[in-house]
Structure 1
């Protein structure tokens, strides 16, 4: 006999899950490291049954297309300008994983007028429908993170696990924090030369970030990254690191229709075009 109460409860849980969306921006001083971290996280999350959209702000040789074993043709900016449909810009990597190239859009947004920003936001909104995770592989330039990355629920830094890497990671955090000013960030250590040194490296980075920037760094694990020029492979070691990383990403507070607007929507409001995005956008519900 069917228990309709149980069936309705299960349906409600599925509906709530679909309404939740975790938007995480990942950045690094090394594009190869951010590519490996995002690819590993996306593959692990989809293996767990989650629907994932990757928004890639890098292009050419630095694109994440090769690690995800796919090819790209169009950019989010072309969809925003209606040169192509958003469905043609989005690459379907697998049943649960999609990729939206956005390097040109991320660059253009800095100088875009209110109308073009709204068009980009609407395209992102369409692309991420049904996604439980939106992973933004963020590019950071002299002006800091892109407007898309600033709308994330959490920003995660991929930092190489050696002295020079920690210095680069701290400088990147300082640059990001100066623009965004979040109270907390995530950090993934990559290219560890000595696993035993990992706790001390994390503690050192956390201490310096707290003392100098008043910013907390949450430990999101570690991940091996291919040597420069070597292709990404989802090896057993990568899978182990990806599992720990995915555990942390699942704990990131999600955007839901009930949470107040923020992030990109707040930026759009300043431009006088609020109300153009609904509450399920990944650019909603986050502190700007």
Structure 2
């Protein structure tokens, strides 16, 4: 298959290009607002560089990775969706309800595949737990609490600062917190009733969003998900405590192959293209992104936000 990479705003395209080539697929082009940056990327991976955005959706390709800044995701995706070109749209897919409704409606109208996901959801540890949950091994689900730890100092550098800006990335609690929010949603969902969230600055007063936060997801079946984000940690990782009526389990990272889930996620995208199916059901994508939009509303308005409000 042939793929395009649209944007180099994240580090992900460097990993994706390497993995696509490893899997014997072709990266047909790369484009970025910064032509020199795209040119260097093209030379590194032996990929064609396109200078004008309008020329990117004229290419004969099987799929595109949308890797521009989060607030530009939907606008950049529209020409491809209208041409039924499958898209992987990096996190966070949409930051407001208008953009979310627009991309979902266009995808349905054109029967055009879109996928968006945190790669952490595709880590082998989480895939195994999701299978156990689906088989009823945990009984009735009661709680899942995810711990997301890293140091956001890299986002405080000028060239990466957009990832700390609420209007451009959703802020730290969405931009990195998604790595806990999505796995918890996959374990307990679908069916979110409301969200509550709080955030603080503990260490990085210069941060434009937050460096510490907590999210509560209340589901219609009574189960509760919690996400605890620490962005000042000297350690890095993703762990989740899962509690059901029959079983409890603390998920720890233990597999060395594909440690961040990137390859499994790319394989899922490719399989969706091959089968002409959404790798993740569109209604689940819509609900998860609505919940993330509600998280920022909850912090801004200091209240519980019900998903029916959106």
Q: TM-score range by the shorter chain?
A: 0.3 to 0.5
What TM-score results when the alignment is normalised by the length of structure 1?
0.33
Please state which structure has a larger fraction of its residues in strand: 2
What TM-score results when the alignment is normalised by the length of structure 2?
0.31
